[in-house]
Amino acid sequence: MRTFLPASRRPLTLSLLFLLSTSTAVCLGQAASSEVPVPAEVRSQAEALQRSALEGTRAYDVVRSLTVEVGPRLAGSPGDKAAVEWGLRTLKELGFSNVRAEKVTVPHWERGEESGAILAPYPQPVVLAALGGSVGTPEGGLEAEVIEVPSLDALSALDPARAQGKIVFISTRMERTKDGSGYGRAVGMRGRGPSAAAKLGAVALLIRSVGTDNYRTPHTGATRYEEGVAKIPAAALSNPDADLLSAQIATGKPVRFRLRLGARYLPDAESANVIGEIPGREKPEEIVLLGCHLDSWDLGTGAVDDAAGCAIMMEAA
């Protein structure tokens, strides 16, 4: 995971960063220690800011604008270019100084067309999405028998003879928890699953979507490949389709599956960090850096991840 930090060293620099990751935001600051009493004037100013934020719609307007007028913005895509333009325009409109784009090079992954189907014992189409960064299947897809394991740990303990030439399906269900720990326990199969399966000779990986919904909406999210291990195609089934595949496997009959992923890497593309500043008045040698990532996955409009982060950052500035 690479992040792109601006070279700027100007006092009180506010940076709107383009980051490759869709889940990492950079936020460095000097917070007031809770042990220092807050002067009445500062408290009054803070309360005024809070009122203004609660009454205003600017943060919402920023999210609306980025999602409605730009939309999906996968690194290297036309949406990415549009997002950089949007960032420059929006920071200028909001009155930031020294607004500029600093070029960066980003990997350029493209989803392409994708589909999946159970071929036997009971033929049915399923809904799936390639994991971000997955390689594609051969054109026309690949067909193989599916074996199911309940977890990444169970996969690691599997006899390679069982996985050889098969599609491995990791069916870990993300638990709904208030503290997000369910995500942490489930997400490992997404990043580490493909190489773990490839080491056992599997030809592709399927996982249950890392998400708690019951809709036929598969989830993407980044996967990665270990150096020196075969890169096999990897996709997430929507939760109902994961249930369907599990139920067919539970009949004890061999389950054949056809997977077609048009995913591929294009040559690295040019993008940019978008930077704006609020020059400091009192302590020009100190810097507060706020960041968000402009890019998003392609299957939605990136409202939470990370248009909301950009809106929060712009409001905080």
Cα 112 to Cα 76: distance, rounded to the nearest angstrom: 14
Min CB(105)–its own copies separation in Å: 25
- Name which of 5 and 303 has its Cβ closer to its own copies: 303
Min CB(159)–its own copies separation in Å: 28
Min CB(257)–its own copies separation in Å: 14
- Name which of 14 and 131 has its Cβ closer to its own copies: 131
The burial class, CB within 10 Å (0-12 / 13-18 / 19+), for 105 is middle
Sign of the C-alpha dihedral, residues 123, 190, 72, 214?
positive
Min CB(111)–its own copies separation in Å: 11
- Name which of 72 and 194 has its Cβ closer to its own copies: 72
Rg from Cα positions in the chain:
23
- Name which of 47 and 85 has its Cβ closer to its own copies: 85
18 in Cβ contact with 295 (< 8 Å)? yes
Between the alpha carbon of residue 52 and those of residues 48, 191, 198, 205, the distances in Å are 6, 41, 54, 49
- Name which of 188 and 262 has its Cβ closer to its own copies: 262
Min CB(93)–its own copies separation in Å: 15
Cα 254 to Cα 242: distance, rounded to the nearest angstrom: 16
Contacts with its own copies by CB under 8 A lie at 64, 67-72, 121-125, 213, 215-217, 240, 244, 247-248, 251, 299-301
- Name which of 137 and 238 has its Cβ closer to its own copies: 238
Token pair listed for 141: 């897809």
In DSSP terms, 132 is beta-bridged to 222
Min CB(92)–its own copies separation in Å: 19
Min CB(113)–its own copies separation in Å: 10
- Name which of 124 and 181 has its Cβ closer to its own copies: 124
- Name which of 122 and 165 has its Cβ closer to its own copies: 122
For the beta carbon of residue 66, count every other beta carbon within 10 angstroms.
Answer: 26
Min CB(243)–its own copies separation in Å: 9
